[in-house]
A and B are shown apart, each in its own frame.
Chain A
């Protein structure tokens, strides 16, 4: 499985941009990068995903390097409600097609947004 490396924790001031890095140096050409976050006692929340190009939605932007070995999730204006564990996941494809439902969660980055 393509593995990801994320910092254990990060801090961000409210109203500032939060930039969360992720390394995935063993990613294969057809594997997507997904970002989820989990607030205590809730299920993981889908944020954004991408393959090669940068992506943006109402929640965040995803910047993927040209060699696809790393990516950055950007929350443009962090609020206190963005405090959560952020997971960067490479969605691994297998030949048998039996991994469509499988996301391999690592330890994630604990993002703390402070006033």
Chain B
């Protein structure tokens, strides 16, 4: 079975631009979460979506937004890019919306802002 897939794998953008990152969850998983991992640090939670609704949000500015589609895939959008947005963006899916349901991560999109 395919794991969580993310696209693109690498992306280079200029300050002020906008970017859209895509995620396909594991088949049958209805929940998707997004994380940002800056070099040298652990991943930080951005959003969780379940059944197309936002269920949780981390401490990120309004420039970050996301949505989930009827097929449970998801997009993360970042507007007005800053140099500090350069990071590995990770998507994770889970079967249930439960603390007993593990999150399974994709290999991320490496975003570089110049």
Contact = CB atoms under 8 A, between A and B. Distances in A.
A108 B40 CA distance: 11
Contacts of B97: 97, 100
A99 B56 contact: yes
B48 interface: yes
Interface of B: 4, 31, 33, 35, 42-45, 47-48, 50, 55-58, 88, 90, 92, 94, 97-108
In this complex, which of A41, A100, A103, A106 has the most chain B Cβ atoms within 10 angstroms of its Cβ?
A100
A114 to B, nearest CB: 23
A105 B56 contact: no
Nearest to B45: A102
Contacts of B57: 98
Interface of A: 30-32, 34, 36, 41-46, 49, 51, 87, 91, 93, 97-108
In this complex, which of B35, B100, B102 has the most chain A Cβ atoms within 10 angstroms of its Cβ?
B102
Contacts, number: 75
A34 B4 CA distance: 19
Contact of B105 (A45, A91, A93, A102): A45
Contact of A101 (B42, B47, B100, B108): B47
Contact of B45 (A45, A103, A108): A103
A42 B42 contact: no
B42 A43 contact: no
Contacts of B47: 101
Nearest to A91: B99
B33 A101 contact: yes
A108 B105 contact: no
A107 B41 CA distance: 7
